[in-house]
Amino acid sequence: MKTLLIPVICLFSMAACSGNGTSGNVAGGAVMEGPAAVAQRIVAEHTGTDYKQVAIVAVEAVEFSDSSLGCPQQGMAYLQVITPGHKVVAEITGPEGTQRFDVRVAGKHGLICTNRENNRRTR
């Protein structure tokens, strides 16, 4: 009985600790889930605004052709592997107008794609 109980306990422990890779913690201990939440966190950290001020405009599931998430930076090398993820368009509106961000998300990690035309201010 003990020999069966130990693997079962280990299995349940691993399942409890594992996640789907799409959650993120925010200030105050709240937990958000999914690529939109990751994008909100990334934009909020980048701009110094509250994540609640970040509006999600669009979320598109994509398979990136490499680990650059479709946003390669000059002088960097990337793994040539299909990387499932999302393209997320997010906006914040402030006194200077609306700023739009092209955010690339894979799991719980994301980046703002700064070499794209999508990152622009509008009045």
Q: Determine the pLDDT at residue 116.
A: 47
One digit per residue, the tens of pLDDT, for the chain of length 123 reads 444 333 333 333 333 333 333 334 444 444 457 999 999 999 999 999 999 999 999 999 999 999 999 999 999 999 999 999 999 999 999 888 999 999 999 999 999 998 644 344 443
Q: Determine the pLDDT at residue 94.
A: 86
Determine the Cα–Cα distance for residues 61 and 36; give it in Å rounded to an integer: 11
Q: Determine the pLDDT at residue 95.
A: 85
Number of structural domains the chain divides into: 1
Closest CA to 54 of 71, 73, 69, 36: 36
Q: Determine the pLDDT at residue 115.
A: 66
Domain that holds residue 54: 2-122
Angle at 105 between CA 11 and CA 32, to 5 degrees: 60
